[in-house]
Amino acid sequence: MTTGRPQPSDSGRREAPWWEGAVGYQIYVRSFADSTGDGMGDLRGIAERLDYLYWLGIDAVWLTPFYPSPGHDHGYDVADYCDVAPRHGSLADFDRLVERAHGLGLKVVVDLVPNHTSIEHEWFAEARRGRRNPFRDRYLWADPAPDGGPPNNWVSHFGGPAWTLDEATGQYWCHLFLPEQPDLNWRNEQVRESFDEVLRWWIERGVDGFRVDVAHGLMKDARLRDNPQIAPVGAGMDPFDAFDCFEHRHDMDQPANTDLFRRWHRICGPHEVMLLGEVNVPWPDRMSQYVAAGVLDRAFFLPTAWLGWAPEDLLQMVRTMHDAAPQGISWVQSNHDRSRVAGRYGGGEAGVRRALAVTALFMALGGTPFLYQGEELGLCDGVLLGDPHDPVAARNRGARNGRDGCRTPMPWAAGDQNGFSSRRPWIEAAPRPLAHTVQGQRADLAAPVHCYRSLLAARRRHPDLWQAPLKWLDAPGPATAALQRGSVAVVANLGRRRAEFELPPGRWTEAFASTTGSEVRGHRADVGPECALVLVGSGH
């Protein structure tokens, strides 16, 4: 099926890759749509719901891992990189999904998990057989410290040391996440070649991009040196806090990471396949190295997906990051690893209003912004029923940051399972009211989903929003920002009081307003609190 909807790159330069101007949407596969009634999201369920994303105005979907996996980290522990887990469907379902997406003009980005495999991957099973096994060196092994303990002081993101002893061979394996996620040794040429093959295999199947999990973590210090400790780790501490007690000088963000992505770029580039890294590095200058020419095409900048409502900090962070890598960032406010943005910004109407205002600004920052499923409905985290599923919460008594709340089923309609499944979902949550569902919101023109849809439509109508050079304009205070890109301008007032912006001379008119109540006269905009406007100028 072809739709005739203009694609972002149609309105821009013809030679631009598809991700210039595109807006992505993250699908958390387990919780998006279940077509078989087993309570688990699947690929057929996604294919059946693509019409909705097309209607919303999305250009690309990123699918979280759907590969065979024992599921200790809900799919981020991959046992086979080139297959589909039966719980999510089959390769034939994947092919149909891609065909359907492409028919609608939507691109498909899959998740690549190269930092670690599952403990059940056949490479690790081999590697464990003995120190001389030809697969041994595909992983990071080290002898015990003199006291028999772990070889160094590295800690796992998910609690405890980053090392587990393999009794049979007397060495520890490294895991920056769960023990069931052994880290690969990226100095090993077989690992590099195997992943070249994985990339080619999915490119052949028609994918349009790879989201690279833990892209900042692949290379480790060759001498496995201790990380400098900056604070004491308390007993029962939240694992993310314990992780922050160290300066990750030797286990993360090693300069050689970018060599790996240059290699992948040579494979993906000729096919116009995007490399989008999860680069968990808070420093804009370091981030910019990952999205330099010939490295990754885009990187998620995660601090904006963690922040509570702190407009001044947010705007400063966004501006610095933008200026360090003007086209390289995939701007996000939510994903499957942290609380949803509407809740972080205070919940209720305020949370929805603030999130939309920031999204309007993000749409003008270049790069490739992403929404997380349900963000367009203004959802807060789901209310969990039953025990935690996320290993961060389930395995650590002191954990504050369990990730289950942002992973509850996508609410399609009213009812017990909110239209996600005909049976009890894999993760149980209190049903959402009709007003928080796709069905309820599509029927209500004032609902958040229509605001997001209008914003995406405005971006499509005014390609200057992402392709004309960006100029920051003077803004009236620290909780405000203003920018111009060719014929369009965006003014964001994230403060509590109205703010008066002065734009370059000319007549400006509203193309999108995140809330009502602002007024634009000539080149002056009187903008309501916590509101962003997209403006179109005559003669610019």
The answer to the question of residue 76 lying near ligand NOJ (CB under 6 A) is yes
Residue 340 CB, nearest approach to ligand NOJ (Å): 15
Q: How far is the CB of 17 from ligand NOJ (least distance, A)?
A: 24
How near is the Cβ of 28 to ligand NOJ at its closest, in Å?
9
Sketch the per residue contact string, 238 through 277, with ligand NOJ: x for CB under 6 A, - otherwise. Answer: ----------------------------------------
- 336 and 407 in contact (C-beta within 8 Å)? yes
**Residue pair 363/15 in contact by the 8 Å Cβ criterion:** no
- Residue ranges with strand state E in 435-523: 470-473, 480-485, 488-493, 499-502, 508-513, 519-521
Alpha-carbon gap, residue 489 to 284, rounded angstroms: 24
Whether 278 sits among the annotated catalytic residues: the reply is yes
Give Cβ neighbours of residue 155 (< 8 Å, ≥ 6 apart). 161, 162, 233, 239, 242, 243, 245, 246
Catalytic residue from among 111, 238, 278, 404: 278
Least Å distance between CB 41 and ligand NOJ? 15
**How far, in Å, CA of 354 to CA of 313, rounded?**
14
The CA distance from 243 to 360, in Å, is: 33
Tell me which of 213, 238, 390, 530 is the catalytic residue. 213
| Among positions 214, 219, 276, 399, the unique one binding ligand NOJ when judged by CB under 6 A | 214
Q: Which of residues 119-138 bind ligand NOJ (CB under 6 A)?
A: none
Q: How far is CA 504 from CA 120, 465, 473, 509, 512, in A?
A: 60, 16, 9, 13, 18
Identify which of residues 280 and 467 has a Cβ nearer to ligand NOJ in the complex: 280
213 is catalytic: yes
Give the DSSP letter of residue 69.
-
Residues 245, 233: Cα–Cα separation, whole Å: 6
Residue nearest to ligand NOJ (CB): 76
CB 111, min distance to ligand NOJ, A = 8
What's the closest the beta carbon of residue 278 comes to ligand NOJ, in angstroms? 6
**Residues between 512 and 531 that touch ligand NOJ (CB under 6 A):** none
Q: Find the binder of ligand NOJ among 208, 337, 376, 381 (CB under 6 A).
A: 337
Pick the closer one to ligand NOJ by CB: 211 or 460: 211
Number of residues written out for the chain: 540
Q: Work out how close the CB of 214 gets to ligand NOJ at its nearest, in angstroms, rounded to a whole number.
A: 5
Total chain residues near ligand NOJ (CB under 6 A): 9
Q: Is 375 in the site for ligand NOJ (CB under 6 A)?
A: no
Q: Which structure tokens are listed for 226?
A: 């201790």
Q: Is 177 in the site for ligand NOJ (CB under 6 A)?
A: yes
Q: Which x/- pattern over 273-312 shows residues binding ligand NOJ (rule: CB under 6 A)?
A: -----x----------------------------------
Helix, strand, coil in percent for the chain, rounding step 5: 30, 15, 50
Three-state helix/strand/coil letters over 438-454: HHHHHCCCCCHHHHHHH
Residue numbers 310-329 binding ligand NOJ by CB under 6 A: none
Buried b (16+ CB within 10 A) or exposed e, 33-56: bbbbebbbbbbbbbbebbebbbeb
Residue 165 CB neighbours (<10 A): 16
Q: How far is the CB of 196 from ligand NOJ (least distance, A)?
A: 21
Q: Which is nearer to ligand NOJ, 113 or 140 (CB)?
A: 113
- 513 - beta bridge partners? 533
DSSP structure string for 120-172: TSHHHHHHTT-TT-TTGGGB-EEPPPTTSS-SS--B-TTSSBSEEEETTTTEE
Which lies closer to ligand NOJ via its Cβ, residue 213 or residue 297?
Answer: 213
Smaller CB distance to ligand NOJ: residue 61 or 465?
Answer: 61
Check: CB of residue 233 under 8 Å from CB of residue 242. yes
CA distances (Å), origin 215, targets 173, 290, 330, 373, 501: 20, 9, 14, 22, 40
Among 20, 59, 73, 208, binds ligand NOJ (CB under 6 A): 73
Work out which of 20, 34, 180, 213 binds ligand NOJ, going by CB under 6 A.
Answer: 213
**Residue 81 found at the interface with ligand NOJ (CB under 6 A):** no
Interface mask toward ligand NOJ for 419-438; x: CB under 6 A = --------------------
Let me know if 228 is exposed, middle or buried by CB neighbors in 10 A (0-12, 13-18, 19+).
exposed
Least distance between ligand NOJ and beta carbon 177 (Å):
5
Retrieve residue 477's tokens.
Answer: 């205070």
**What value, to the nearest 5°, has the Cα angle with vertex 29 and ends 339 and 418?**
75
- Of 45 and 217, nearer to ligand NOJ (C-beta) is 217
- The residues binding ligand NOJ (CB under 6 A) are 73, 76, 113, 177, 213-214, 278, 336-337
Which residues does the annotation mark as catalytic? 213, 278
